[in-house]
């Protein structure tokens, strides 16, 4: 049986999500106590921050025989075939993730080589291994 490697996001995303949720809870408590528009704005910003990092915490990447499958919560799985990938690089400062540049696939199943798309993936455990595997399989 051939198992496909699964790459999970780094634990730092859990810390960011929990921190954002804690700050959002403090702002929510302040809005309930004494309503003000700036506090409501920061409540929404902290909630957005927590949701983005929670989504990245729950994301997982699967390296299959044909390509990379990205499983994200509340979204259908997205598969990007190796033949679609143009480049894969590390990007970011705090927790550098992977930036995947690829050609999209049309509804008919053809690779559209007019405008490439970019998909930013969160930093994962064993990222060097994933990057090496992707670079090895990207067509030259």
List the CATH number of the domain containing 76: 2.30.29
Work out the average pLDDT over 109-123.
88
- Give the Cα separation of 76 and 71 in Å (integer): 7
Mean pLDDT of the chain: 90
Q: How far is CA 55 from the centre of its chain?
A: 8
Q: What pLDDT band is residue 2 in, cutting at 50, 70 and 90?
A: low
The answer to whether residues 95 and 122 touch, using CB atoms and an 8 Å cutoff, is yes
The pLDDT, as a whole number, for residue 1 is 44
Q: How far apart, in Å, are the Cα atoms of 124 and each of 12, 24, 48, 98?
A: 10, 26, 22, 9
pLDDT tens digits for range 32-78: 999 899 999 999 999 999 999 999 999 999 999 889 999 999 889 99
Asked if 51 and 65 sit in the same domain, the reply is no
Asked if 89 and 122 sit in the same domain, the reply is yes
Q: Is residue 70 part of a domain?
A: yes
Asked if 68 and 133 sit in the same domain, the reply is yes
- Give the Cα separation of 71 and 122 in Å (integer): 12
Q: Is residue 37 part of a domain?
A: yes
Domain range for 10: 6-57
Q: Is residue 71 part of a domain?
A: yes
Q: Is residue 105 part of a domain?
A: yes
């Amino acid at each position: 049986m051939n198992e496909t490697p699964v790459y999970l996001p780094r634990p730092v995303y859990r810390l960011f999500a929990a921190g954002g949720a804690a700050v959002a809870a403090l702002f929510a408590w302040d809005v309930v106590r004494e309503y003000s528009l700036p506090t409501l704005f920061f409540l929404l910003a902290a909630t957005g921050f927590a949701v983005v990092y929670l989504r990245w915490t729950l994301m997982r990447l699967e390296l299959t025989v044909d390509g990379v499958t990205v499983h994200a919560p509340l979204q259908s799985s997205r598969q990007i075939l190796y033949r679609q990938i143009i480049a894969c690089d590390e990007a970011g400062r705090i927790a550098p993730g992977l930036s995947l540049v690829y050609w999209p696939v049309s509804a008919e199943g053809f690779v559209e080589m007019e405008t490439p798309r970019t998909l930013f993936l969160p930093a994962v455990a064993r990222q060097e291994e994933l990057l090496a595997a992707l670079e090895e399989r990207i067509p030259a």
